[in-house]
Amino acid sequence: MTMQRHETIRKPAAPGDAPNLRDYDATRAAFDWADAEREIDWLPDGGLNLAYEAIDRHVAHGNGAKPAMLWEGKNGEKETYTYEEMRRESNRFANVLAALGVRKGDRVFTFMERVPEIYFAVFGALKAGCVAGPLFSAFGPDPVKDRLEDSGAKVLVTQPELRAKIAEVIPQLPELERVIVVNKNERSKEPLAPGDLDYGALMREASPDFALIGATRDDYSLMHYTSGTTGKPKGAVHRHNAVIQHYLTGKWCLDLRPSDVYWCTADPGWVTGTSYGMSAPWTNGVTQVIYEGGFNARKWWQILQDYNVNVWYTAPTAIRMLMKSGAGLPQTFDLSSLRFAASVGEPLNPEAVEWGVEAIGMPFHDNWWQTETGGIMIANYASADIRPGSMGKPLPGVHPGIIDAEGNELPDGKEGNLAVRAPWPSMFQTYWRQQERYDSRFVNGWYVTGDEAVRDADGYYWFIGRSDDVINTAGHLVGPFEVESALIEHPAVAEAGVIGKPDPIAMEVVKAFVSLKDGYEPSDALRRELTGFAREKLAAAVAPREIEIIPSLPKTRSGKIMRRLLKARELGLDEGDTSTLEED
Ligand code: ATP
Ligand code: MG
pLDDT tens-place string over residues 332-391: 999 999 999 999 999 999 999 999 999 999 999 999 999 999 999 999 999 999 999 999
Query: Which residues sit opposite 251 in a β-bridge?
Result: none
CATH of domain 2-452: 3.40.50.12780
Q: Which of 9-23, 211-225, 227-241, 540-554 is predicted with the least confidence, judged by mean pLDDT? A: 9-23
Ligand 1 within 6 A of CB of 344: yes
pLDDT at site 1: 47
For residue 115, give every residue at least 6 positions away whose Cβ sits within 8 Å of its Cβ, in sequence order, or none. Answer: 71, 73, 159, 182, 184, 292
% the chain with pLDDT above 70: 99
Ligand 1 within 6 A of CB of 227: yes
What is the C-alpha to C-alpha distance for residues 311 and 66, in angstroms, rounded to an integer?
Answer: 18
Phi, psi of 360, deg, nearest 5: -125, 10
Domain 471-571 class, CATH top level:
alpha beta
What is the C-alpha to C-alpha distance for residues 288 and 264, in angstroms, rounded to an integer?
Answer: 8
**SS3 label, residue 581:** strand
Side chain identity, residue 288: Q
Per-residue 3-state assignment (H helix, E strand, C coil) for 502-535: EECCCEEEEEEEEEECCCCCCCHHHHHHHHHHHH
**Atom of ligand 1 at shortest range from CA of 231:** 4
pLDDT at site 187: 65
Confidence class for position 2, pLDDT limits 50, 70, 90: low
Question: What is the pLDDT of the chain when averaged over all its residues?
Answer: 95
Q: What's the CA-to-centroid distance between 376 and ligand 2, angstroms?
A: 14
**Residue 169: pLDDT over 60:** yes
pLDDT tens-place string over residues 468-477: 999 988 888 8
Ligand 1 within 6 A of CB of 365: no
Query: Which residues sit opposite 462 in a β-bridge?
Result: 390, 454
Ligand 1 within 6 A of CB of 373: no
Ligand 1 within 6 A of CB of 226: yes
Nearest Cα neighbor of 517 from 371, 270, 322 is: 322
pTM of the model: 0.95
b/e for 221-247, b at 16 or more Cβ within 10 A?
bbbbbbbbbbeebbbbbbbbbbbbbbb
Domain map of the chain by residue range? 2-452, 471-571
pLDDT tens-place string over residues 47-91: 899 999 999 999 999 999 999 999 999 999 999 999 999 999 999
Q: What's the CA-to-centroid distance between 230 and ligand 2, angstroms?
A: 7
H-type alpha helices, 139-275: 141-151, 160-165, 199-205, 243-252, 271-274
